[in-house]
Structure 1
């Protein structure tokens, strides 16, 4: 696969304590819709969300790839479903709770995937996938569009060319995540087409804000009980 553009952004944790309202002002819960309120968005995520609300600054990746046989849309959709299960950022979205913007993780997120009319114009493809801003009511804040670009007999043994555009909320992932996700998608699709076994194990699990604060406090207590370990960490 050849990547033409890679502009995603990692799900950011608050870096500065004063940059977000105190988490104690917000009730931690798992609501009836099956979602976890992870942590308050920091200023960077809030800025990108403002861009998204205005439908201005967009982030996307585009992959151009060729295959020996015609692809089935179900093969691409399954690859995206597996990628979403492995990559926790793709199961999250930004939602307001009161006056505070939060990162939220969905229990059963949807797949926003569509097959577009065959076309060779990448500009038109980008417009179809990126032209509409995400909504707070969306179960996930990313979407993908696949278009067949025609047969290129000179490129045998891989004559069939496709373009896949993925648009994701810029407050959810960064460039590193985008590169890794692109590589994972490529590997997953290749495994599906080759009939190989696929690893669907999630890369990690996101914890809710209060859980993270509790774990950090436990680490702090253990470090304070072992001054030599603190010195060792400082030296490294």
Structure 2
């Protein structure tokens, strides 16, 4: 009985303690409600007072959103306003750069890519000169080129939540003389550079030693211009595409010749104009609006595109290798002499295809033979190539001096027969037809349309996807028209281009200079070994020679 009474007493006490806790909690809740109500009243007054200030800031471009704002948001809005004003004042007081305009979607895309060392572009220039080219000659010419070409002064900065293109407004050069004598390792050391986005410069120059063996496509100049140097120019892809880099190259050649000969240089004369490419945006907008008229069809197009992206590509199927998150890009180079180049050009014309279509057909045939050697036997091979197209082709007027990044990839997917040798040029004509139709229909804008739905550009680089195409390609054609400079003392005797890859297993870049064909393959070393890459290029060039006899 005593134990029972004790238990009852303990139960009563426990009940009293619980009741006391609940009463205390109710009291605290009441105080909290009173405090919240008091805060609401105070914040309502605060919001009312700061609203005119916020409206003025909004009219002047300060990104503060008050839509559906409740008084509870007043403190955050005021904090945002004060922080934005502080940032704007700090930026306004910094005279080391000038705000130009909001960055384009493609610039934003490339800036996010470069933060991970992706899509870096490298140009290799081999120069001939009548006198020894010194490090000082090169550095002085680069300084003048920096002053004369606006894209080389471009950097990117955030203004609120928006990325802006800016002019550095101060001179800074990233120039080094490297000890590496071989071109391939020197190029590969630059293919994953992360440039200082906000400060600039978003490009750099590396000069190989004077005794480094240079590539040459103009041996006839050796007697008159006996001295040679090789210079590498690397850049963030957000400031320059192929056309822009050609302007940079030609400006540098002109300036370097003036430096060597002692001619005066006027840095006030600008070479090219940095533009946003509103024409490209208008084309994209019109195309998306057209597609959105049938939303179901547009969604189906995007689904089909997604399926083609995720379908396993030929080289990884034939030679499966483990993916490496720390993969590196490596290169293989090949050239054709002038006579062989001209024979191929004439053959393409005779067969009724462009040189580009002929080369694409050759590259596709090379991939087929390569994967067949790897044991992948099929009657037909679906090869998905992404081919860089300059959007300037759709603009009005002279676009040769328009600077920036104004290119998009055009998807070309043609079924390549395993027995392509039976009628190669008929196959090349089918490639030509698909290419011509894609260019005419402006299908390159589908790349940007496919990016719709991504919440931020960073989403595109959250993780490395499996290869989304079999290869990427960029053909600049005959670049003599873009690099016309032939100096008194300095001549360009070889030029080769590279772009590091990410969502493609390899990039093929090619062009002709002074009548000679120049080709580079940049590949991911977790997709192919160096031996395999060289084997693929060997097959491609063997085919190129062979089809001229077909």
Report the TM-score, using the length of structure 1 for normalisation. Answer: 0.68
Which residues in structure 2 correspond to 1:22-37 (within 5 Å)?
24-25=61-62, 30-37=92-99
CA distance in 1, matches of 2:132, 2:171: 28
Residue in structure 2 matching 1:66, options 128, 145, 157: 128
C-alpha displacement of 1:206: 8.0
Partner of 1:198: helix, strand, or coil? Answer: coil
Residue in structure 2 matching 1:136, options 197, 202, 223: 197
Residues 1:75 and 1:44: Cα distance change in structure 2 (over 3 Å): same
C-alpha displacement of 1:142: 0.8
Which residues in structure 2 correspond to 1:1-236 (within 5 Å)?
24-25=61-62, 30-119=92-181, 121-148=182-209, 150=211, 155-203=222-270
C-alpha displacement of 1:44: 0.5
Residues 1:71 and 1:205: Cα distance change in structure 2 (over 3 Å): closer
Higher percent of residues as strand: 1
C-alpha displacement of 1:138: 3.5
Segments of 5+ residues of structure 2 without an aligned counterpart are 1-58, 64-87, 214-218, 277-550
Residues 1:183 and 1:123: Cα distance change in structure 2 (over 3 Å): same
CA distance in 2, matches of 1:205, 1:64: 23
CA distance in 2, matches of 1:197, 1:33: 29
Partner of 1:102: helix, strand, or coil? Answer: strand
User: Does the CA-based 8 Å contact 1:129-1:143 persist in structure 2?
Assistant: no
Partner of 2:245: helix, strand, or coil? Answer: helix
Bigger radius of gyration: 2
CA distance in 2, matches of 1:72, 1:37: 36
User: Does the CA-based 8 Å contact 1:148-1:161 persist in structure 2?
Assistant: no
User: Does the CA-based 8 Å contact 2:156-2:198 persist in structure 1?
Assistant: no
C-alpha displacement of 1:204: 7.4
RMSD, matched Cα? 2.9
Partner of 1:179: helix, strand, or coil? Answer: helix
User: Does the CA-based 8 Å contact 1:55-1:133 persist in structure 2?
Assistant: yes
Residues 1:23 and 1:40: Cα distance change in structure 2 (over 3 Å): farther
CA distance in 2, matches of 1:45, 1:83: 22
CA distance in 2, matches of 1:184, 1:205: 10
C-alpha displacement of 1:196: 1.5
CA distance in 2, matches of 1:62, 1:206: 24
CA distance in 2, matches of 1:191, 1:206: 22
User: Does the CA-based 8 Å contact 1:129-1:145 persist in structure 2?
Assistant: no
CA distance in 2, matches of 1:23, 1:48: 28
CA distance in 2, matches of 1:67, 1:204: 23
CA distance in 1, matches of 2:118, 2:271: 32
User: Does the CA-based 8 Å contact 1:40-1:103 persist in structure 2?
Assistant: yes
Residues 1:171 and 1:151: Cα distance change in structure 2 (over 3 Å): closer
CA distance in 1, matches of 2:156, 2:132: 36
Equivalence for 1:231: none
User: Does the CA-based 8 Å contact 1:83-1:188 persist in structure 2?
Assistant: yes
Partner of 1:108: helix, strand, or coil? Answer: coil
Task: Number of aligned residue pairs: give it.
Answer: 185
User: Does the CA-based 8 Å contact 1:30-1:37 persist in structure 2?
Assistant: no
User: Does the CA-based 8 Å contact 1:91-1:106 persist in structure 2?
Assistant: yes
Residues 1:31 and 1:140: Cα distance change in structure 2 (over 3 Å): farther
C-alpha displacement of 1:63: 0.7
Higher relative contact order (CA 8 A, sep 6+): 1
Segments of 5+ residues of structure 1 without an aligned counterpart are 1-21, 210-236
User: Does the CA-based 8 Å contact 2:149-2:272 persist in structure 1?
Assistant: no
User: Does the CA-based 8 Å contact 2:101-2:165 persist in structure 1?
Assistant: yes
CA distance in 1, matches of 2:199, 2:96: 14
